[in-house]
Amino acid sequence: MARSDCTEFSGSGRPLITIGWLIALRGLGLPGEAVLLCSSARTRPPQMRQQKTSHGIAHVGGARCLLYKTARAAQGGCYTFSQLWRPWPRERCWAMPPSSSFGNFAIHGSQCARLPLSNSPVTNVASNDIRCNANSGPVGRKCAVNAGSTVTVEMHQQNGDRSCSNEAIGGAHYGPVAVYLSKVDNAATSDGSGGWFKIFEDSWAKKTGSGSGDDDYWGTKDLNTCCGKMNVKIPSDIASGDYLLRAEALALHAAGSSGGGQFYITCYQITVAGSGSASPATVRFPGAFAQNHPGILVNIHSAMSGYSMPGPAVYSGGTTKAAGSACAGCESTCKVGSSPVGTAPSTPQPSSPAGGGGGGGGGGGSGCTVAKYQQCGGQGYTGCTTCAAGSTCKDVSPPFYSQCS
């Protein structure tokens, strides 16, 4: 099979926000590797193409015998299609921008993600936004997933920035991460008001000799260590059908007062294939969290002897990652390279390079600005202190943390 359909997706046209989760589908359990070079139908050799609004990638492991079937089956869940070019019988995977090389079948774009409207966090746990963030509503596409396979979700601060030299979630935004599933009739229309069950969490662990929670191990620190990636197994015993997958990071740097916990959430529309029949116990959003829950209203800037993870326990078919543990699988092997010449530039974002003075006030290094909800001051902080237009630097957990708001 020298050529076949290659799925090339563009995004929704909305900016990739602070929690720009990009789903990666792996673990189909089939041998072999696949290489994808996407080209125009009339262009040879392959010319890599990407629309300006494309936001990322998803990886699906599979053998050549599945490659054609997988691409064809995805036609109902794609934005655009081009062709698949397979110039070698066994290859490495060359991916289009913004990625460079992966060892798996690659599908590009956030085609099944309900991208949030802005990079503002959700702070009111009684709001309907706690389900899938403030977004433009369902998208018309779904990602196909096998029960028992592993998905890798990826998070980064800025639109188009997937560099491992930058923290995935910066500004001392320490806290846990979690992933939920909700069984729905149609993932492309569901509003997320149904029941949810947790399939993954990476929360907190005490670090020997730490003086405060800031020094301990956290799920968001693991995201930074693994270049924004975390592996999540889809339970093997759940029923087939449509689900919403909800990825959540909870930043606790300002959680010492009510409403200070910051939830960064993105939902994905997926279709699970499997033969299971399990029906896990569920919770509802809103309702699963209380504003005064000790895992949401907590001072992490003092010494901690324990941490109470918000929400239900992880479902028995799910997984729990020990905070501070090493990266594994795609978390360490899926590499992102620089985009080729000709890639459409992403929307410019405010930057916050090192420089300027500490503290919670204005000023800071020349030529740098801090995006809204990012750190601009605090004890030991040495970065930029000038907030982007429309926000000011405020003490939210003095003297430890100040942010633009």
Structural domain spans, the chain: 3-333, 350-405
* Tokens linked to 327: 């990266």
When comparing pLDDT for 86 and 143, which is higher?
Answer: 143
Amino acid identity of 11? G
Asked if the model's pLDDT at residue 230 lies above 70, the reply is yes
What would the mean pLDDT of 341-368 be, rounded to a whole number?
A: 35
pLDDT higher than threshold 50 for residue 19: no
Confirm if 256 and 299 have CB atoms less than 8 A apart. yes
Most confident of 63-77, 116-130, 347-361: 116-130
Say whether pLDDT at 63 is over 60.
no
At residue 403, the pLDDT reads 79
Closest CA to 223 of 154, 309, 132, 160: 154
Nearest alpha carbon to residue 203 among 172, 230, 176: 176
List, for residues 88-139, the tens digit of each pLDDT value.
Answer: 222 222 222 222 111 122 233 456 888 888 778 999 999 999 999 998 788 8
- pLDDT for residue 367 is more than 80: no
Residue 320 DSSP code: E
How many angstroms separate the CA atoms of 120 and 189, rounded? 24
Percent of the chain with pLDDT over 70: 62
Please compute the mean of the pLDDT values over residues 335-363 and round it to a whole number: 33
The rounded Cα 10 to chain-centroid distance in angstroms is 17
Instruction: Please determine, for residue 145, whether its predicted confidence score (pLDDT) is greater than 70.
Output: yes
Helices (H), 182-335: 219-225, 330-333
Q: 43 is written with which tokens?
A: 């262009």
Nearest residue to 48 (alpha-carbon basis) of 11, 82, 86: 82
CA distances from 149 to 5, 60, 145 (A): 23, 10, 7
Highest mean pLDDT among 72-86, 151-165, 304-318: 304-318
How far, in Å, CA of 193 to CA of 174, rounded? Answer: 28
CATH 3.30.470.20 matches 3-333: no
Query: What average pLDDT does the structure give for the chain?
Result: 69
Whether the Cβ atoms of residue 385 and residue 357 lie closer than 8 Å to each other: yes
